[in-house]
Structure formats: C-alpha cells, structure tokens
Structure 1
Amino acid sequence: MDRDIDDYALIGDMRSAALIGRDAAIDWLCWPRFDSPALFLRLLDSHRGGSCTLEAEGLRPRERRYLPRTNILETTLSLPAGELTVTDLMPVRGRGDAGPEDIGPDSEAAGVLMRHFRCDRGRADFTLRVAPSFDWGRAETSFHLHGTHGAAAHHGDQALSVLASAPLVVEGGACLARFSLRAGEEAWIVLAPTPTLPSLPEGGAMAWLAETRAYWEEWTGALRCGGEFHEMVERSALCLKLLCYAPSGGIVAAPTLGLPEGWRGGRNWDYRYTWVRDASFTVSAFLSLGHSHEAAELLRFLDTVDGNSDGLRVLYGIERDVPPEQSLDHLRGWRGIRPVLIGNEAEEQLQLDIYGNVLIALDLFVQKLGAEGLGERMRAHLPRLITRLADKVMRCWHVPDRGIWEMRKPDLHHFHSKAMCWVTLDRAVKLAEQVGPAERIPDWCRVRDEIRAEYEERGWDAKRGAYTQAYGEPALDGSFPRLLLFGAVDPLSERSARTLAAIDRELGVGPLIYRYRTDDGLPGQEATFAACAFWMVGALAARGELDNARQRFRALMHYSNDLGLFSEEITADGIAMGNFPQAFTHMTVITIALLLERAAQEMERHNPPPFGRRPVEEAVQGQPTGEGTTDTPRQAGCEAQPANGES
C-alpha cells in the first residue's frame, strides 16, 4: 500500500530534494533539478514507480530524526540480529559571503545523494536495491557495471550512476549492493544523476557528511528565534531553505507533484515551480528570522525572469518557462487517485494579490537592512520595480480576477484581491518615501483610498453579517484572516469579529479551516487548508485574544508529522493531503509563531492589545507603535482616514 503522505522526511541540496520513508526507502527524487522528471517515483505509483530501498527479512523501522540543526536524516532500523542506522544527505558546503553586493548561491552542491550505514548492535545483513524509473516510468532500465563497485544506467537525457563501498550486481532493471555489517562497522553508497561515476572528495565519502553538517549548523545558528515554538520555527526554516533553488534564487512551492488535495481526483497539481505569492511569503519569513540572503536572491530571481514585463506572472519555472499542463495517464497516482499532472496552467491567470505580497516582502527588507542591503544593481532598479508593480494595480484593481485560490471558473471581484491591491499601494507609498519615486505618492494615496472605500462598501454582506469571498457572493473565504495582519482590514472592528466568527462556524473543523466551501470549477472536495488555520491564529492575536491564539497554535502543531513537516492540506480527521512538504504552510508557521512571541512580550511590557492596528510585519520586527489609536492602521503618505460605519 502507498504510505501516508506525511510518512516522509525531506533531504536536499537547494537544487533538488528527495522524500524518504520511515523504512529508509527513497520513493521520490526529481534529479538533477526540482523540475526534472522523477528518477524515483514510487510515491505516485507503487507498482511502476522506482525507488531506492533496503531489503532484509524482519526489517522494521524503529525511530528517525534530523541531526540537530541540520537537514541530515538519521533512520534507525531493527533487524532480527541487530540494529542499523542509515544517514541520508545531499552534500553541500558553504560558499562564503562577499558582503552586501554578493549575489548567487550561498552553497556549493556535490550533486550527489549519499547513504551511510552503521551497524550499532549485533549483525546487519541487508540488500540495497536501486531501481530508477526513467521517462516517468515508461522506459525500461538497464544498468551496466563499471568495475566491481560502480554501475550506471541512462535513457535519453536521464541517467543514474551508483558507487558503493560493497560490490554491486545487476539484476533486471535494478542495481544491488549486499552488505553484511557487524557492530561498529560502516558502509556507504553514493548516487548521482550522471552516466559517469561520481568522484569522492578528498578524505572519502565521510568528508561530505562533515562539511554538510557544518554548513547546516552554521546556517541554523544564524536564525533569530526563541520562545515556546522555537523548535517548530527552526524546522520550518530548514524546510524552507531546502525549497530554495540556489542557482537562480527561485523558491519552489513544494518538491512534489500529483499528490491529491482530496479523495476524489482532479486536484493533483504540480508544485515544483516558483509561485510569486508563496515565494514572497517565504522571503518575509526568512527576513523575520534574520536571514536576508534568501530574500535578496528572490529579488534577483524576479528581476532576472521578468524584469522588463508589464506585470508579474502567477508562477515561474525555476530557470525556464513552466511547461504546459499534461496528465501522465499511465501512472496510477497516490492510492489510485488520478490524474498525475505535470506543468501548471495557472501560469497566465490574473491574480491581483501577488503584487501586494512582493511589496510586503520588499518593504520588510528595506525596513530591516535599508535599501543598501539590496546591492547596487537591485538598488538602482528599485524605484522602477516599485512603480511597475504599483502602476499595474492602478490600472487593474477594478477588474475581476481569479483570486488567491486559482479557481478554475470565471473571474470574480474577490475581496482578498481588492484588499491586497490596497496593500500594494500602501507599501508602494512607504517604499517611495524612502527610495523613490516620491512624485508618485499623491496618485498612489488617492487610488489606495478609493480601493479601500470600495471593498469596505461592496465586500460587506449585511445579510450575512460578514465580509464575503467576492462582491455579491455569499460564500466565506479562509484567506480573510490574513488581511488583518497587513492592515487591510481593522482587526479590532466589529465587522472583523463577526467575519472571523462566521469563518470559524462555517469553514472550521476544530482548529482547522477550509479555504472555502463553494463550487470552484473542479470535481470533488478538498481537505482543510493548513495555512488558513494559522492565519486564523494570527488574526486572533491581532485582536488581542492571545490565550485563544496560543491554544489554537499548540493544537495545530499536532498535525505535523514526527519530524515537524506539514503538508498543504489536512482532512477533518487529521490525514495529510496535497503536495508535501509545503512552503506555504511552513512560512505561515514561522510568521505566526514569531507574532505570538512578540505579542506575548508586548503584553508583558504594556498589557495593551498585542499590536493593536499595526501590520503584522511591523509587530514581528518590533517597530514603534506610533501615536494615537485610530480606527484604521496608519497609512503612509497621508493622514489616516476614518473607517466606514459598522453594520
């Protein structure tokens, strides 16, 4: 049977990533890049899909963990005559930092996957089977031995080579290494996506383990996080780092594709690309933790892939265009749930919220490091970038769009999109006050206030007693709570309170929240959306309900797997669904955990609402509260405007 989606651990090298089960089987690996065809894909087809597995009679998983402050996985297995520890990593080492003008990857990757075996007790007799699936499982595999300890196979542009400390044999479409270890003895195997055998570093394969551990410990040591949830924040940050594609600076939404969002098919998307929204959220999370390099790298990525266009695409390939969406009909899918889709047709949708997300991240970057932290090239481009994004919203804010959830039905005037248009212009004004172009501020202020007046009037449904998903539509939307965190809606208003209560009542299942319960143009019904549940926690904290918020956050922690990894969605009975692990979820974990910690500190000092009407990015950074207590957040570039009358 197919494993649970969250049965897996993640390892990687910021170029690609592998999923490893509790029994140390590698069931997923797209190589040499996140968006390459999968070499191991048993995750999506337990019969046709290849894997790298340990075989031994009576083998049972015992425990697993990441080595502290790293992305190096350690799995302990019980055997009839002993105990075996498997250590898995994709080797990296630090590249060094040339200062603010330094751009590019902060690491160098060996481009291999290393598996180290140590017998801890008794005797460990086992076979390691390497069986790739070329051309998405449609091509036959034929290995050829290279001496006693090496073998390689290839098909078209795909290849896999194996180098082991034990002799190798070829059996059908697989390469096998048989090990017999006694207590204290060690062995290893190295895989590479090349037709030639990998070369070991000076000092042998174990040198990779030492330098990789040193890289991750140094990176994690620079994180600024503490408080009750620091362990979850640290693991989420390490997960997000693995989802960065170092060569270009892009950030993938997840390392997987085709994992279903519900028990019926049709919602099985390919997430191995850079969504502007997800990546911007991730950048904000990194900045809040004190890591600015990843933020600067995403800005480099956006400037490279779309520096001269009129607006932004919803998503980009990590180095090339997103391929057309197509179904791999020969694959049965996880637990038989089809279709298995590669590519993504959401690329050309109009989603107006993405502009605000980019400027939130950019504003936070400038708050933290000043414009000089961007480097000379980006600093010179900054006024043009701000103007390009703000002017796109100036032209388009009044038109319907597809919304944050990429529904596959006609466009609507989505409340979330309109509010994020307000955020776009609000942050553009703040940035222009510091870096230019100052002459555009009056126009941006004027349209910003027009947008807010409209969505306060048209987005409020007096009959429902709530802000609804779209103008004239009665459905609620789980994205609403995040708007309270950015100042787009007054968190302390009666309207906000009534909308949050309605969302909890109609979209909530315990601490979990569905993103919507309306027809989205797709078959079946999806599970709850993890990020929405964390946004609700943040909204409660924004309203000063800190005890309630912390209690809900603690409850949500139980929905991660044993290693602290979250999926995209969670069923009402706690089963992980959707692509895994998910950047969207983990960046929200970080943001809300830091918010709760900061709010608790402010409550101890002042005992007011945690951050009142300040946007969450200011609260997390500990910016001054400002004077007065108006009914709306302070708006940059002009006096705060009174809120519309409450229903």
Structure 2
Amino acid sequence: MNEANLELSPIGNCQVSALVDSEGGFVWGCVPRVDGDPVFCSLLNGDKRDEGVWRFELEGQVSSSQHYIRNTPILVTRLEAEDGSALDIFDFAPRFERSGRMYRPVAFARIVRPVSGAPRLRVKLAPMKNYGEELAKTTNGTNHVRYLVGDQALRLSTDAPVGYLIEGRSYRVESDQHFFLGPDEPFVGNIRSELRRMEASTKKYWQHWVRGLHIPLEWQEEVIRAAIALKLCQHEETGAIVAALTTSIPEAPGSQRNWDYRYCWIRDSYYTVQALNRLGALDVLEKYLAYLRNIIDEARGGQIQPLYSVMGDTELHESEAEHLAGYRGNGPVRIGNAAYKQVQYDCYGQIVMPTAQAFFDTRLLRMADERDFEHLEEVGEAAWAKHDKPDAGLWEFRTRQEVHTYSAVMCWAACDRLANVAARLGKGDRVTFWKERAEAIRAKIDAEAWSEEGQHYGASFESDYLDASLLQMVELRYLKGDDERFLKTFQAVERDLRRGDHMLRYAAEDDFGAPETAFNVCTFWLIEALHLTGRSAEARQLFCSMLSHTTRSGMLSEDLDYDTGELWGNFPQTYSLVGIINSAGHLSKNWSEVR
C-alpha cells in the first residue's frame, strides 16, 4: 500500500464528511459531526492503514481514476483489473429537501456498479472508536451490520452479501450493490430504489446550488469546486464554518506543528463567507450570521475569543490521541486547540465586517436591526479598548505577544464599518463617534507600525520584521493600492518572504523554529497584491502555478513545500480555497468580453 498522501477528495452534506483516497477508500471521517470521533482514521493511523478505513478492493486491480459528477460533491471512482473487468463506486452523503426541511443525516451512501467483465470485489469496512483505540465491535442481521463506535452505533444496510462482507471474502459483482452507513435504525424501503432516489435528489440539490453562483468567466471549474468544498466545511445545524476537515496534518514533516483545525475560527470564517458572498452564496452567510449572533449574545462585555466549537463551546481543551501514530508517523495527533485561550484582537473586525452586511443587504431573509447594532457596538468597544494592546496575532504565537499591525488594522476596520452601519440607521451621533475612534486607531498605527528607517509597515508595533498579512491593508480598505506606503511595504514583504512562486507567512523564528513551508493563502495574497499594483501578467502566471499544485479534486491544504511542491497541513484548508476564488475573481476576463 502506498504511503499516505493528500491526494484526497471530500464528500459531505454539511453534517458529516469523509475524505476519499485515489482508490476509493474512506481514510478520514468523523461522526456525528466534523469534530467528532474519527471512525475513519486510516489517514493518521501510521502503518495500520487497513484499520479505520472503508475500502472496496478489486481483485487484480491495476489502475484507478476519479471524477466528480459535474457541479456536485458526488465522487465516482473507477477501479480496473488486469483481466479487463472494471467497476465504478459512487460516493456521497445524502443532502436534499424532504418534508419541508433539509435531509442531511449522519450517513454515507456508496453504490458499486459493474462496468465490464466479471469484477470480483472484497469489502473492507473497519471503523474504529476513541481516536483509533480499537476497532468497532460488530453485530449483524440478514441485511445489515452494526458497528459499535463509542456510545453510539452505526448501521450498514446493504443488498450485498453480508456474510462475505463480515468474513472479508471476495465475490463476483454481477449487479449494482448499495451500501448505506448511517443511524442505528432499520432502513426504510427498498435500499436499491431509495439510494438511487437519494443519489438523484442529492445531485439535483448541488447542481441547483451551483446554478445560483455568480462565477468568473475563467477558471469556472476551479472556482465551483472550491465553493462546494467551502460549503462542506459549514456545520449547517449552527452555521459554524470549520478551518479544515482534519486534525494534525503537520505543516512540515517532523515539525510538531500539528493542530486540530475542526473548529470555527472567527478569522477563517470571515474570509470564507467573504469569498462565497462574492459568488452570491448567500445561504452560507445567513447561517453563519446566525452563529455569530449567538457568539455575540454570549460574549461577556463584547469579549470574543479566536475560535469556538461548531456548537459554540468556548473551551476546547487540547490533548493527544495516543493510539494514532499521525500522518506518515508524524505525531502527535491533537484533539482540541489551546488557541482558544489566546487573545487575538483581529477577531473584532472579523465579527463586525460580515455582520455589517446584514444592515445593507435586502436579499437576506433576516436583516439586522437596531438591537443587533447595540450588540455589535459592544464588539466595537472591545476593539477600541484592545487595538493597541499585545496579542498572539493571527499566526497564533504561543510564547510571545506583541501589538500586531494586522490586529490593529482589524480593530480599525471594526470601528470604520460601525460608522457605516450607524449612517445606514440614521444615527448621526454614532457615525461621528465611530469615525473619530477609527481615525484615532489609524493615527496610532501610522505612528507605531510605520518604519521611517525601513520605509515600510512592520508586522508589529514593537519590531520591524515583516509578515504577509501586511498585504491585506488594501483589501481591508486601510490603504489604496497606489498608496506609496503600501507600494514600499509590498516591495519589502516580497523581498523578504517570497520564495520563487510562493510566499512565507513570516521568515522570523517562532515557537517551533523557522517556518519550513510556504503558507498557501499568503501566496494568494501575493497574487492579489501583484494584480492591484499593475503586475497582472505576473499574477496570472503565479495563479496558474498555484492551480498546478491542487489535488485532482481541485483542493489545497494549508502549506506547500516550495522546493518539492508537496502539500502539507490540514486539508482541505478553507483559507487556501478562498484564495482560489478571490484570485480568479481578480484576474478573470469579464463576461462582457464574450457576450
């Protein structure tokens, strides 16, 4: 069996998700939601990759190929054998409207369809429990197998021979076979007809969702694939958006930079809804705004922490899964994330900015009102109080704090946007109030972060080192693209942090030493900055270079080895997918050019 890699394809339904390897194996998937127990954990199981997996093994297999059904996350894997026999595996998590609400069960559906010859198949379904501690115990009936995973059970309902499955025997596949792994309850109806109906309804849902997107003329497939993946990262029940579907894929081999990203970072979610909103995916924004309203309601004195669980839990205690060896043996595998204890003051701007849209956008089913403004002002007060105070910064330094320029600019943005909202509501006194605060923060940033000696903004008030977040000063409307201070800062950032076609987030040593890989979203920030400063041809070249590093499923992880081009870091990373969408929007030809 080949070494674990990130050539993976996500499927999901905004309740559960799975990552499928290039041969159709479920190698990562958690229940009952994204931050739950990984019943499929083969990806992080070291050499024991036949445990924590769901795989269809074709006798004499010599090749495999994959594609998604157009504009859906329904994945088709074709396995071909040396004798010419072949079969297709259709994988999806059901999602469609039923009985007036969205049907998105804790369930995975798989349909095996023989294509040619007489394929012989062995089904390997070996879920685990307690983060790889042991294989799930089983019981079975005539047409089902129950897997006891922790305090709950999953039931596989199938029209395949259950005895062959339990004993791991190969058998000839002479007709379509259907597998539904879901709640521990009897499957209602004929599994063949029901799964075909689910497949058709799921396909219809996703293709209609994509149909409503406003996409650029160029790179349509790449943008659509990124948009679908971003939507799969939303836990629809609450509206939370996770940073990635995995935990502990290291940023670089042996780096110990192994973090659990299955939580909702206010920062990452802001960028996600911003990108999807540009495409017109208003449903994701609406649900996320509901999540934010709950966060704001429960925030004490407007104090916001950097991340929360998808259910809004505030404590995400960090521990290690001792039974999982880690990706390619690169442990530890972490559960939880201690960054929830940190202070990261950029989150105030990232709360205010998406919420501000709700005061202006008349398409929304629920527009924000004066009561929402009162709550939002509490967040603004916290931004004002903290704009010049040390924090861990957006890169979440664990052992030091400084007054980070990015955090201060985000606090400025919070006050600036509150002034806009106050104007919308006709509150002239509050317009003046928030404008004055925004101007005071700007004066502080310009006085403390600008280096006359270096002729650039620094990453913090205390030192003049550089980081890639300074390139966001135009996107946040703090500076214009032709501002001499931005041009000089861009020149300095590019000089210090660019590595060929890629960008570091910073070059200075941190808690774990010097960064070894490029941070993909920073490369996309470089691409945007190149475009905004008139170097669009170079930006297009770099964008095409980045797209060449995506998986066959169109995904990117968090990091990339700029020497080898190999992907590292949690997967799929929302930041990186946002970069694809935003860069394509900046660089694409206009639709009017072909009409």
* TM-score, length of structure 1 as denominator length: 0.86
Q: Quick check: 1:58–1:80 contact (8 Å CA) kept in 2? A: yes
Kindly indicate whether residue 448 of structure 2 is the aligned counterpart of residue 458 of structure 1.
yes
Question: Distance in 2 between the 1:513 and 1:291 partners?
Answer: 29
Question: Distance in 1 between the 2:546 and 2:177 partners?
Answer: 40
Kindly indicate whether residue 53 of structure 2 is the aligned counterpart of residue 51 of structure 1.
yes
Kindly indicate whether residue 425 of structure 2 is the aligned counterpart of residue 409 of structure 1.
no
* Superposition deviation, residue 402 in structure 1: 1.0
Over the aligned positions, Cα root-mean-square deviation in angstroms equals: 2.3
- Tell me the residue number matched to 2:36: 36
Among 140, 148, 157, the residue aligned to 1:163: 157
- Describe the superposition over 1:32-68 as per-residue Cα deviations: whole angstroms up to 9, x where unpaired: 2111111010100144441011223322343211100
* Superposition deviation, residue 287 in structure 1: 1.4
Among 74, 90, 93, the residue aligned to 2:93: 90
Kindly indicate whether residue 148 of structure 2 is the aligned counterpart of residue 154 of structure 1.
yes
Question: Distance in 2 between the 1:512 and 1:567 partners?
Answer: 14
Q: Quick check: 2:275–2:581 contact (8 Å CA) kept in 1? A: yes
Moved more, 483-492 or 238-247: 483-492
- Tell me the residue number matched to 1:21: 21
Q: Quick check: 2:349–2:383 contact (8 Å CA) kept in 1? A: no
Question: Distance in 2 between the 1:198 and 1:405 partners?
Answer: 47
- Tell me the residue number matched to 2:329: 336
CA shift in 2, pair 1:60/1:191, >3 Å:
farther
Kindly indicate whether residue 273 of structure 2 is the aligned counterpart of residue 283 of structure 1.
yes
- Tell me the residue number matched to 1:346: 339
Q: Which amino acid counterpart does residue 39 of structure 2 have in structure 1?
A: L
Matched residue SS, 2:109: strand
Question: Distance in 2 between the 1:206 and 1:517 partners?
Answer: 52
Among 575, 583, 588, the residue aligned to 1:592: 583
Matched residue SS, 2:557: coil
Moved more, 18-27 or 325-334: 325-334
- Tell me the residue number matched to 2:572: 581
- Tell me the residue number matched to 1:11: 11
Question: Distance in 2 between the 1:502 and 1:178 partners?
Answer: 62
CA shift in 2, pair 1:511/1:199, >3 Å:
farther
Matched residue SS, 1:123: coil
Kindly indicate whether residue 112 of structure 2 is the aligned counterpart of residue 109 of structure 1.
no
* Superposition deviation, residue 374 in structure 1: 5.3
Question: Distance in 1 between the 2:382 and 2:202 partners?
Answer: 43
Q: Quick check: 2:404–2:460 contact (8 Å CA) kept in 1? A: yes
CA shift in 2, pair 1:397/1:179, >3 Å:
same
* Superposition deviation, residue 601 in structure 1: 4.6
- Describe the superposition over 1:335-363 as per-residue Cα deviations: whole angstroms up to 9, x where unpaired: 11111101011112111112222332233
* Superposition deviation, residue 257 in structure 1: 0.5
Moved more, 532-541 or 57-66: 57-66
Report sequence identity in percent: 28
Moved more, 14-23 or 503-512: 503-512
Matched residue SS, 1:451: helix
* Superposition deviation, residue 302 in structure 1: 1.5
Question: Distance in 1 between the 2:263 and 2:169 partners?
Answer: 35
* Superposition deviation, residue 474 in structure 1: 3.1
Q: Quick check: 1:264–1:525 contact (8 Å CA) kept in 2? A: no
Question: Distance in 1 between the 2:404 and 2:477 partners?
Answer: 17
Q: Quick check: 1:55–1:128 contact (8 Å CA) kept in 2? A: yes
Q: Quick check: 1:351–1:402 contact (8 Å CA) kept in 2? A: yes
* Superposition deviation, residue 158 in structure 1: 3.7
Kindly indicate whether residue 204 of structure 2 is the aligned counterpart of residue 181 of structure 1.
no
Moved more, 199-208 or 570-579: 199-208
- Tell me the residue number matched to 2:78: 76
Matched residue SS, 1:160: strand
Kindly indicate whether residue 124 of structure 2 is the aligned counterpart of residue 129 of structure 1.
yes
- Describe the superposition over 1:480-518 as per-residue Cα deviations: whole angstroms up to 9, x where unpaired: 112211211332123322222222222112221110112
Q: Quick check: 1:420–1:488 contact (8 Å CA) kept in 2? A: no
* Superposition deviation, residue 466 in structure 1: 2.4
Among 420, 438, 445, the residue aligned to 1:430: 420
* Superposition deviation, residue 96 in structure 1: 9.3
Q: Quick check: 1:65–1:563 contact (8 Å CA) kept in 2? A: yes
Show the 5 A alignment for 1:186-225. Answer: 186-192=176-182, 194-200=183-189, 203-225=193-215
Question: Distance in 1 between the 2:433 and 2:33 partners?
Answer: 44
- Describe the superposition over 1:158-200 as per-residue Cα deviations: whole angstroms up to 9, x where unpaired: 42221221111388xx674744124xx32121212x3444445
* Superposition deviation, residue 285 in structure 1: 1.6
Q: How many residues align?
A: 585
Among 224, 227, 232, the residue aligned to 1:234: 224
- Tell me the residue number matched to 1:535: 525
Matched residue SS, 2:555: coil
Moved more, 433-442 or 260-269: 433-442
Q: Quick check: 2:370–2:425 contact (8 Å CA) kept in 1? A: no
CA shift in 2, pair 1:336/1:244, >3 Å:
same
* Superposition deviation, residue 521 in structure 1: 1.4
Q: Quick check: 2:63–2:81 contact (8 Å CA) kept in 1? A: no
Q: Quick check: 1:244–1:251 contact (8 Å CA) kept in 2? A: yes
Question: Distance in 1 between the 2:226 and 2:330 partners?
Answer: 28
CA shift in 2, pair 1:269/1:8, >3 Å:
same
Question: Distance in 2 between the 1:83 and 1:281 partners?
Answer: 42
Q: Which amino acid counterpart does residue 15 of structure 1 have in structure 2?
A: Q
* Superposition deviation, residue 292 in structure 1: 1.2
Q: Quick check: 2:87–2:119 contact (8 Å CA) kept in 1? A: yes
Q: Which amino acid counterpart does residue 484 of structure 2 have in structure 1?
A: E
- Tell me the residue number matched to 1:613: none
Question: Distance in 2 between the 1:603 and 1:453 partners?
Answer: 42
- Describe the superposition over 1:260-294 as per-residue Cα deviations: whole angstroms up to 9, x where unpaired: 01112421111111111111111112211112121
Matched residue SS, 2:524: helix
Q: Quick check: 1:201–1:208 contact (8 Å CA) kept in 2? A: no
Q: Which amino acid counterpart does residue 93 of structure 1 have in structure 2?
A: F
* Superposition deviation, residue 462 in structure 1: 3.1
Matched residue SS, 2:11: strand
* Superposition deviation, residue 205 in structure 1: 1.8
Matched residue SS, 1:6: coil
Q: Quick check: 1:12–1:90 contact (8 Å CA) kept in 2? A: yes
* Superposition deviation, residue 3 in structure 1: 4.2
Q: Quick check: 1:511–1:552 contact (8 Å CA) kept in 2? A: yes
Show the 5 A alignment for 1:194-593. Answer: 194-200=183-189, 203-309=193-299, 310-321=302-313, 322-367=315-360, 369-370=361-362, 373=364, 375=366, 378-435=368-425, 437-522=427-512, 525-572=515-562, 573-593=564-584
Question: Distance in 1 between the 2:4 and 2:14 partners?
Answer: 25
Q: Quick check: 1:382–1:435 contact (8 Å CA) kept in 2? A: no
Q: Quick check: 1:383–1:436 contact (8 Å CA) kept in 2? A: no
Moved more, 308-317 or 16-25: 308-317
Q: Which amino acid counterpart does residue 155 of structure 2 have in structure 1?
A: S
Question: Distance in 2 between the 1:200 and 1:475 partners?
Answer: 64
Q: Quick check: 2:241–2:264 contact (8 Å CA) kept in 1? A: yes
Question: Distance in 1 between the 2:516 and 2:427 partners?
Answer: 44
* Superposition deviation, residue 547 in structure 1: 2.2
Matched residue SS, 1:413: coil
Question: Distance in 2 between the 1:529 and 1:175 partners?
Answer: 45
Question: Distance in 2 between the 1:175 and 1:41 partners?
Answer: 22
Q: Quick check: 1:17–1:242 contact (8 Å CA) kept in 2? A: yes
Q: Which amino acid counterpart does residue 127 of structure 1 have in structure 2?
A: R
* Superposition deviation, residue 385 in structure 1: 3.1
Matched residue SS, 1:590: helix
- Describe the superposition over 1:556-580 as per-residue Cα deviations: whole angstroms up to 9, x where unpaired: 1111111211111111121111110
Matched residue SS, 2:473: helix
Moved more, 465-474 or 83-92: 465-474
